[in-house]
């Protein structure tokens, strides 16, 4: 198993509160990603990082921000959580730009009430 740890694994929060999800890797992989999984939509990319302090938006980035201050950590922040952000969030990592596999963490279940 790839060394990816997500925290918290489960969280219930109220609308309008800030939430931060953490992803920690021990593989020293260059690329890190945050995806969300929703019924009927599959896995959709929120943000990704291609190096320390280098990040870019994915297809569903509105309402989310990320930071990567160290190779091993990638943080996803919901500045003001909304019910539409209730989802399962997966962190993933990969190493190179071509023909490479992406490895996923166990997921973080977030419920916004």
Partner 1 sequence: DQQVKQNSPSLSVQEGRISILNCDYTNSMFDYFLWYKKYPAEGPTFLISISSIKDKNEDGRFTVFLNKSAKHLSLHIVPSQPGDSAVYFCAALPRKTGNQFYFGTGTSLTVIP
CB nearer partner 1, residue 80 or residue 100? 100
Does 98 bind partner 1 (CB under 8 A)? Our answer is: yes
Please give the Cα distance from 77 to 69 (Å, whole number): 14
- Cβ at position 88, least distance to partner 1 in Å: 9
Largest CA distance in the chain: 41
Across the chain, how many H-helices and E-strands are there?
A: 0, 11
The count of C-alpha atoms lying within 13 angstroms of the C-alpha of 66, restricted to the half-sphere facing its C-beta, is 29
Strand partners, 57: 47
| Site pattern 45..84 for partner 1 (x: CB under 8 A) | x--x-x-----x-x--------------------------
Interface positions with partner 1 (CB under 8 A)? 4, 31, 33, 35, 40-45, 48, 50, 56, 58, 90, 92, 94, 96-107
């Amino acid at each position: 198993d790839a060394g990816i740890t997500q925290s918290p694994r489960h969280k219930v929060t109220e609308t309008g509160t800030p939430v931060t999800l953490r992803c920690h890797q021990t593989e020293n992989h260059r690329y890190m990603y945050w995806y969300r999984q929703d019924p009927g939509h599959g896995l959709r990319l929120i943000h990704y990082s291609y190096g320390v302090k280098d990040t870019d938006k994915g297809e569903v980035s509105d309402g989310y921000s990320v930071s990567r201050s160290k190779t091993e950590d990638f943080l996803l922040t919901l500045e003001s959580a909304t019910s539409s952000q209730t989802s399962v969030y997966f962190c993933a990592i990969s190493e190179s730009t071509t023909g490479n596999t992406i490895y996923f963490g166990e997921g973080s279940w977030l419920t916004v009430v």
